[in-house]
Amino acid sequence: MKILVTGANGQLGHDLVKLFAGKYEIHGLGREHLDITNEEQCNRIISDLRPEVIIHSAAYTAVDKAESEEDLAYKINAFGTRNVAVAAEKVGAKLCYISTDYVFDGAGGNPYREYDNTNPQSVYGKSKRAGEQLVQTLSSRYFIVRTSWVYGLYGANFVKTMLKLAQDRDSLKVVSDQLGSPTYTVDLAHFLEQLVQTERYSIYHASNSGICSWFEFARAIFEESGLKTQVVPCTTEEFPRPAPRPQYSVMEHLAIRTNGFVDLRPWREGLRAFLKELSETER
C-alpha cells in the first residue's frame, strides 16, 4: 500500500511516518515539500506519486492566533484541504482528513456522536468544519476523523508544557470546567492504520477512551511522573483566551464500535506509554 502523509513534521504526522515505515511505501511530506495551499503543486505531486491513501494531517492549529488570522486559517484548513481532496480524487486515492472536537460548540452534556449537528464557535473550529464539508463534497472515498486534546513526542503540547512548568513551580492553576478526552498520537496512528486499509468510509470520533478535565489531566501527568507539583483547579473565566474553548468536547465512538474497529485504550494508559517514551528519548 502506498500512503502519502501531509503535515509529516507535525505531532501526528511524525508518528504516522514512524509507524508505517517498513510496512508500507510511505511518503511523509512536510510544508517544505508539499504546500497544500498551492493548487498546482498539490496536483503535480499527488499525480506523480499516485498514492492509494492520503492521510491529510497538515493543518493550521494555532487556535488563539486564528482569531486574528482568519484568512490564513481558512486558506490552509479549508482551501488547502480542497486542493488535496481534488488531487486525491483525480488519482482515485482514499482520503483521510484529520479534524477536531472544535467543530462542536461544547454546550452539551452528553458525548457528541459523529452525525450530531456541528456548531463551531472559534475561527479554528469553523475553518476545520469547512475542510470537512469540502472533503464530503469533493471526495468519493473519504474518512473524516475527529480527535481531541492531542499530544505526542514531536512538537508542543499540554503534557510537555505541564512538565516544563513543574520544573520551576511548586503549584499550577489549571482549568477544571472544560471536559474532554486526551489523545496520544501513537494510539491515534494505530487506529488510522486499521481504518485506511478498509472501505468503511464515514465520519469517526477517535480519542483515547474516558473523560477528564484539564485539571484532572494535569494532576495525572504529575502523578504518573512522580512529581509533587500541586495542581489548583480554576475556571475558564479566570484564564480568558482569544478563542472560545468547548466546555464539553467529549466524543462518542459510535462509528468505531459499529464498524468493528478496535477502540483506543483509556487515556491514562496512553499517558503512561507517552511518559515512558518521553523518558527513553531523554536518556
Assess if residue 74 is contained within a domain.
Answer: yes
CB distance 38 to 84 below 8 Å: no
Return the SS3 of 252. Answer: coil
Residue 282 above 80 pLDDT? no
Between strands 212-213 and 179-180, the pairing is antiparallel
Residue 283 above 80 pLDDT? no
Assess if residue 164 is contained within a domain.
Answer: no
Assess if residue 72 is contained within a domain.
Answer: yes
Residue 239's pLDDT is 81
Q: Would you place residue 69 in the very low, low, confident or very high pLDDT band (cuts 50, 70, 90)? A: very high
Q: How far apart are CA 27 and CA 3, in angstroms?
A: 6
Residue type, 14: H
Q: How far apart are CA 218 and CA 30, in angstroms?
A: 31
Q: Which CATH number is 136's domain given?
A: 3.40.50.720
Assess if residue 170 is contained within a domain.
Answer: no
Domain that holds residue 76: 2-157+181-209+249-266
Assess if residue 63 is contained within a domain.
Answer: yes
Q: Which of the 8 DSSP states describes residue 282? A: T
Q: What H or E segment, with its residue span, contains residue 94? A: strand 94-100
Residue 122's pLDDT is 97
Over residues 49-67, the pLDDT tens digits come to 999 999 999 999 999 999 9
Q: How far apart are CA 65 and CA 122, in angstroms?
A: 11
Catalytic residues, by residue number, are 124
Assess if residue 43 is contained within a domain.
Answer: yes
Over residues 88-102, the pLDDT tens digits come to 999 999 999 999 999
Three cell numbers written together for 132:
470537512
Distance of CA 1 to the CA centre of its chain: 23
Q: Cell 528519548, residue?
A: 281
Integer CA distances (angstroms), 144 to 206, 233, 252, in order: 10, 34, 14
Work out the average pLDDT over 161-167: 94
CB distance 87 to 127 below 8 Å: no
Assess if residue 236 is contained within a domain.
Answer: no
Residue 180 above 80 pLDDT? yes
Q: How far apart are CA 26 and CA 192, in angstroms?
A: 14
Assess if residue 32 is contained within a domain.
Answer: yes
Helices and strands of the chain, counted as H and E runs: 10, 12
Residue type, 283: R
Over residues 72-128, the pLDDT tens digits come to 999 999 999 999 999 999 999 999 999 999 999 999 899 999 999 999 999 999 999
Q: How far apart are CA 129 and CA 146, in angstroms?
A: 10
Number of domains present in the structure of the chain: 1
